[in-house]
Amino acid sequence: MTVDKELEKLSRLTPPAATPEARARALAAAMQAFDTAENNAPAAQGNAKGWRQSSIINWIWSPIMNKKFLAGSALATLLVIPAAGYLTIELTRNGSPIVDQTEIAGDLSKSEASKQPAATVGQPVTIAPQAPAGNNSLAEQSVAVAQAPQDKEAPAVAKPDSSQTSEFDANDIAALTNKPEGAAAALGAAKRSAPAAPGIAPQRQLAEPMAAIAPSPAPPAEGRVQIQLDPDRERFANAAANPIKSVATDPVSTFSADVDSASYAFVRRSLTGGAMPDPLSVRVEEMINYFPYDWPGPDNAEQPFKATVTVMPTPWNHDTELMHVAIKGYDIAPATTPHANLVFLIDVSGSMDEPDKLPLLKSAFRLLVNRLKPDDTVSIVTYAGNAGTVLTPTRVAEKSKILSAIDRLEAGGSTGGAEGIEAAYDLAKQGFVKDGVNRVMLATDGDFNVGPSSDEDLKRIIEERRKDGIFLTVLGFGRGNLNDSLMQTLAQNGNGSAAYIDTLAEAQKTLVEEAGSTLFPIASDVKFQVEFNPERIAEYRLIGYETRALNREDFNNDRVDAGDIGSGHSVTAIYEITPKGSPAVMNDDLRYGAADKVPAEAADSAHQGELAFVKMRYKRPGEDKSALITTPVDDNNAVATVDAAPQDVRFSVAVAAFGQKLSHVAAVDTYSYQAIADLAAASRGTDAFGYRSDFLGLVRLADGLSQR
């Protein structure tokens, strides 16, 4: 206890000022004496390897203390010595602390826990979670971590010259102390001031790995080292389900096209992981549009879209009907696809250091490069604490050069995405191809925490840069801190689309099998507007598209941004409609003026038989003025039974029911998962890629998980 009190008093004292030369000499002499004492000391009891706990700490810390960065800085005196003393006392006083594996989660597992590099210069020392084996002490586990094999071929992208970074010192301190606040600020500032080497991916910053380990207010009971980590920080873009609307008061529905598919992959990831998905992660329209459908397409590119409308009974409500609107885009033949100028904007921050993030991302982009034509060009920009150009525009004919640049990428640091976005758009503009495809492909887990990082700030940047005629694809990876909300913001406001890559098979689907629709736009600012005839329809409810709603006046305003559609894309929208006089009508008739508020077109006797009128506006790439396509809907579009509807229509309705059930929409409360599976199984069709069979598996998983 006396030693403890003396150490506490000592820790509160302010050390006297000293010259850098004196500090360096003192530190070198102290460490030499410490090494000598340790080498001559007998082995501690109970340690088969003959190493004492303090010897292990010294073995790890000696190269740190002798490094130029700490030997010549005040941080060595103010931080390193008290921290080393604290750890040594704790080890000798409390015995061998055991890391509580159940308390290692969140940010540590995302950035550093999966790595076990050797404790040598240029390699960060990390805490690796591992199950205790027998009675092994922390000292023995530390030796195992320190002696783990390292990568002998250090990629230039990941490991810049030590004169330009203090990464080793920062991460060593972060891994060995549970009181990192002062080190995070001071060393982080030193790291950020170091110049980035041109063309080298930004490296691991101190702020993120140290912030992941929360300080412990007091030594825990039984000598355990408890590490408190932040919980998952996933953010999803969604809104409340569309309400039932009365045609008498609100006969027009307007929304933007959406060809994204990210939500379906989110749902699959959760269900196959043994958990029901977060209802906020479910966007029904993205689940429907995930699947390829054989909707009839246009004959030529002069009118790039064709609409097919089917009216059928609602499977989950016998008193309503479904109006199914299917749009198919013109499919550009591969031989006529325009030249592509692609910029890969890749997040290499510390949060990307997980198997389902950067390693999967690299494999996905390799698939895409192999799909491109020799005359296409690829550039690579990476970002972490700052942005760097890894590869200037390079023809795909030099494929090995592109693939080599991808292979060298490694993760580390905080996430300054705004700077990376600016750099990528600048590079895309420099290589702009007239009448070609100019696209930035952002691959990230969505975690932006340096520089302008709010959704609104990044939205503003994207809106300004889309004026250059450059499209955007956002590819999300990983879990834990996935920022789907930001991904949606960037995609929706940057003339782009968003997908989530949870497996290499999903990368194959998105970037290879659907490369035409992913890369080659045929129309921008695509909007839909549906007007219902109050003489035939009492109420309606749009299924999905909550985050894509537009004002009625936005439809004819060409300055209002909307979704974009690529080559061969299909878009499906489904309304649940209530015929006039049905017992399912939820709204009372108006007492005043209902009869004389009927829209002029519906009042015209020539249109009395119509159920609705579908309108679609779009702009051809590079044009500012939109074109209009219209389709009336009448009884000729109706089928008498669910089984009479086309196969693809029935399957998409099953997907719509599943999405609504997962997002807790009351309309499908009484419609069971088994009924959904039966409807999907009966309309599965040929299923060349197995997507529909996989869907049936997800329905069964949800059924089982919901009954727990």
- Asked which of 479, 512, 545 is the last residue of a domain, the reply is 512
Count of structural domains within the chain: 3
* More confident site: 462 or 580: 580
Domain range for 81: 2-223
How does pLDDT run across 636-685, given as a tens digit for each residue?
999 999 999 999 999 999 999 999 999 999 999 999 999 999 999 999 99
- Does residue 174 come out as left (phi exceeding 0), alpha (psi in the -120 to 50 range) or beta? alpha
Check whether residue 558 and residue 694 sit in a common domain: yes
Lookup: tokens for 488? 């949606």
Maximum CA extent, the chain: 105
Residue 228 covered by a domain: no
- Asked which of 467, 493, 512 is the last residue of a domain, the reply is 512
In 10 A of CB 528, how many CB atoms? 27
Task: Look up the CATH number of the domain holding residue 471.
Answer: 3.40.50.410
Residue 230 covered by a domain: no
Check whether residue 542 and residue 465 sit in a common domain: no
Check whether residue 298 and residue 368 sit in a common domain: no
CB 194 within 8 A of CB 340: no
Q: Rounded to an integer, what distance in angstroms lies between the CA atom of residue 414 and that of residue 445?
A: 12
pTM strictly above 0.75: no
Which distant-in-sequence residues (6+ apart) come within 8 Å of 597 by Cβ? 248, 249
**pLDDT surpasses 60 at 279:** yes
Check whether residue 501 and residue 551 sit in a common domain: no
Q: Rounded to an integer, what distance in angstroms lies between the CA atom of residue 341 and that of residue 395?
A: 9
Check whether residue 209 and residue 284 sit in a common domain: no
Q: b or e along 83-114 (b: 16 or more beta carbons within 10 Å of the residue's beta carbon)? A: bbebbbebbeeeebbebeeebbbbbbbbbbbe
Q: Rounded to an integer, what distance in angstroms lies between the CA atom of residue 430 and that of residue 237?
A: 33
Check whether residue 266 and residue 328 sit in a common domain: yes
CA nearest to 619, candidates 684, 702, 679, 556: 556
Task: Look up the CATH number of the domain holding residue 532.
Answer: 2.60.40.1230
Which of 82-86, 275-279, 468-472 has the weakest average pLDDT? 82-86
CA nearest to 103, candidates 216, 210, 181: 216
What's the sign of the alpha-carbon dihedral 572, 575, 579, 584? positive
* pLDDT score at 221: 38
Residue 151 covered by a domain: yes
Give me the count of residues in the chain.
708
- Asked which of 459, 489, 512 is the last residue of a domain, the reply is 512
Check whether residue 384 and residue 502 sit in a common domain: yes
Check whether residue 536 and residue 665 sit in a common domain: yes
From the number of C-beta atoms within 10 Å of its C-beta (0-12, 13-18, 19+), residue 150 rates as middle
How does pLDDT run across 115-153, given as a tens digit for each residue?
444 433 334 333 344 444 444 433 343 334 334 444 433
Lookup: tokens for 504? 């290499």
CA distances from 663 to 316, 667, 699, 700 (A): 16, 11, 14, 16
Q: Rounded to an integer, what distance in angstroms lies between the CA atom of residue 546 and that of residue 551?
A: 12
How does pLDDT run across 170-179, given as a tens digit for each residue?
333 333 333 3
Lookup: tokens for 326? 């299917």
**Secondary element (H or E) of residue 575:** strand 570-579
**pLDDT (mean) for 563-579:** 92
Q: Rounded to an integer, what distance in angstroms lies between the CA atom of residue 394 and that of residue 376?
A: 8
Check whether residue 275 and residue 409 sit in a common domain: no
Residue 42 covered by a domain: yes
User: Interior CA angle at 676 toward 674 and 678, to 5°?
Assistant: 70
User: Interior CA angle at 376 toward 374 and 381, to 5°?
Assistant: 125
Beta strands at 563-566 and 521-532: parallel, antiparallel or unpaired: antiparallel
Percent of the chain with pLDDT over 70: 63
Check whether residue 477 and residue 384 sit in a common domain: yes
How does pLDDT run across 411-465, given as a tens digit for each residue?
876 655 677 888 899 999 988 998 888 999 999 887 665 455 566 777 777 777 7
**pLDDT surpasses 60 at 69:** no
